[in-house]
Amino acid sequence: MTTKALSIKDIAKKANVSITTVSFILNGKAVEKNISTAVIERVEKIIKDDGFKPNQVARSLRTGSSKIIGLIVEDISNPFFSAIARLIEDKAYKKDYKIIYSSTENHPGKMKELINLFKSRQVDAYIISPALGTEQDIQGLLDEHKPVVLFDRFLPSLDVSYVGIDHVEASYKATEHFLKLKKKNIALVTIDLDVEQVVNRYDGYKQAILDYNGNQNEALVLKVPFGQEKEETIAQLKELFKEHTEIDAVLFATNYLAISGLTALKEMEKVVDADFSVIAYDDGDVFKLHTPQISALGQPLEEIAERIISLILMQLSSKDVLKTERVILSGELIVR
């Protein structure tokens, strides 16, 4: 039963033509290369009847390209990333590209390893949600003129294409919403990381309070250490809410912080209501089904995926290096 896979040679033999001819036909170069329609049809019939599929590995070796796009995210099991992955995969598939992915798991060395691994597999393009300190690794790809698109997180020191949302605007909108509801003591729960998209969320929050002459109080800004255990975060949050009973609104800067926050509140038996409002970054079933429903800053997942893929495909289909493009989309405040 173990039949060795057919090769182009078998097809050539069967059709009584050369390997070259079969290859031309396979690659749609038949007319251009003056292959007669009779031969084309004969060969195509055999290919179809025998179900011959060219060996992509050999093809990659020869052409240097693989029709594979590498996707590197921090954690594929984060709903935001898995949703994006699914959408990207779907769109890429339609253009005959496959996705090979990996999670970096906040492990600093892993990015370099992954990039090397992907390179040795002759991956054609890279879609990366970059961790801190991976600038050089990504610059390496750019130096080799590989198509690269960053998303979700941006590295300002790199001249590279990017798709993401305007985090200043998004957290401004959320904070503004609180202020219009006459909230006086708005807390921000964010992470302790000096990267653009985190800083931006903080900036939008601060700017809104400033513009509305709100109550500025650094004590209400909690910066959770990056990568900290969930239990620890919950404990910290409980303390915040206990110490600062004046808090009447909280903006959580990531979806998992919001989940930890809601867990903390639940454990404290503190309810979310008109006197204590919450907005979460990224939307999800958890927030929709929560009692009461939780307002959220939704990211336009479909559009993010669409833009990423079209940037990648443009670079892939162009002979020369295109100039980088930064796509900044708007988050949507979903008031519940």
Partner DNA sequence: TCATATTAGTAAAACGTTTTAGTGTGGTGA
Partner DNA sequence: TCACCACACTAAAACGTTTTACTAATATGA
> Which stretch, 27-35, 91-99, 285-293, 295-303, contacts DNA (CB under 7 A)?
27-35
Among 62, 182, 319, 323, binds DNA (CB under 7 A): 62
Nearer to DNA, 119 or 238 (CB): 119
Contacts of 269 (CB under 8 A, 6+ apart): none
C-alpha radius of gyration, the chain, whole number = 26
Alpha carbon 101 to chain centroid, angstroms:
11
The answer to whether the CB of 230 falls within 8 A of the CB of 167 is no
Q: x/- string (CB under 8 A) for its own copies, residues 5-44?
A: x---------------------------------------
Reduced to 3 states (helix: H, G, I; strand: E, B; else coil), residue 156 is coil
Binding residues for its own copies, total number by CB under 8 A: 51
63 makes contact with DNA (CB under 7 A): yes
Pairing label, strands 161-165, 148-151: parallel
Report H helices in the chain. Answer: 8-15, 19-26, 37-50, 56-63, 79-94, 108-120, 135-143, 167-180, 196-211, 230-243, 255-268, 285-289, 301-317
Nearer to DNA, 21 or 236 (CB): 21
Q: What's the closest the beta carbon of residue 27 comes to DNA, in angstroms? A: 5
197 makes contact with its own copies (CB under 8 A): no
Binding residues for DNA, total number by CB under 7 A: 30
216 makes contact with DNA (CB under 7 A): no
Q: x/- string (CB under 7 A) for DNA, residues 33-52?
A: xxxx-xx------------x
> Which stretch, 12-20, 55-63, 151-159, 161-169, contacts its own copies (CB under 8 A)?
55-63
6 torsion bin: left (phi>0), alpha (psi -120 to 50), beta (else): beta
Nearer to its own copies, 209 or 262 (CB): 262
CA distance 329 to 334: 16
Q: What's the closest the beta carbon of residue 65 comes to DNA, in angstroms? A: 9
φ, ψ dihedrals at 73, nearest 5°: -125, 170
324 makes contact with its own copies (CB under 8 A): no
User: Considering only residues 127-166, where is the footprint of its own copies by CB under 8 A?
Assistant: 143-145
Q: What's the closest the beta carbon of residue 19 comes to DNA, in angstroms? A: 5
The answer to whether the CB of 251 falls within 8 A of the CB of 205 is yes
Q: What's the closest the beta carbon of residue 297 comes to DNA, in angstroms? A: 46
Burial class (CB within 10 angstroms; exposed 0-12, middle 13-18, buried 19+) of 269: exposed
> Which stretch, 89-97, 147-155, 163-171, 200-208, contacts its own copies (CB under 8 A)?
89-97
Q: 144-147, long-range: CB within 8 Å, 24+ apart, which pairs? A: 145/321, 147/312, 147/315, 147/316
The answer to whether the CB of 111 falls within 8 A of the CB of 137 is yes
262 binds, among DNA, its own copies, none (CB under 5 to 8 A by kind): its own copies
Among 19, 31, 93, 210, binds its own copies (CB under 8 A): 93
Write out the two tokens for 77.
């099991």
Count the Cβ atoms, other than its own, within 10 Å of residue 194.
Answer: 8
Burial class (CB within 10 angstroms; exposed 0-12, middle 13-18, buried 19+) of 69: buried
Nearer to its own copies, 68 or 160 (CB): 68
> Which stretch, 17-25, 240-248, 256-264, 311-319, contacts DNA (CB under 7 A)?
17-25
The contact set with its own copies (CB under 8 A) reads 1-3, 5, 53-58, 60-61, 66, 68, 75-77, 79, 82-83, 85-86, 89-90, 93, 98-103, 105, 116-117, 119-122, 143-145, 259, 262-263, 266, 285-286, 288-291
